[in-house]
Homo-oligomer: A and B are copies of this chain.
Amino acid sequence: MAGPNYSEKANEILNAAELRMRQGGFDAVSYRDLAAVVGIKASSVHYHFPQKADLGRAVVERYTTKLLAFLGAPDDPTEFVETRIKRLCSAYQHALIHEEVPCLCCVLGAESLDLPAVVSQAVNHFFVQMIHWTATALLTGCEAQGDRDSSGSLPSDRQAAEVLAKHIIGTLQGTMITALTLQDPDVLTNAEPFLLRLVSSAIPTTPERQP
Contacts and interface: CB of A to CB of B under 8 A. Distances in A.
Contacts of A197: 198, 201
Contact of A167 (B101, B113, B115, B175): B175
Q: Which range contains the number of A residues in contact with the other chain? A: 35 or more
Nearest to A124: B181
A101 B110 CA distance: 10
A178 B27 contact: no
A87 to B, nearest CB: 19
A171 interface: yes
Interface string A108-138: 0111111100001001100110000000000
CB-based closest 10 A-B pairs? A174-B174, A24-B114, A170-B175, A27-B27, A173-B174, A170-B178, A110-B110, A170-B174, A109-B181, A107-B110
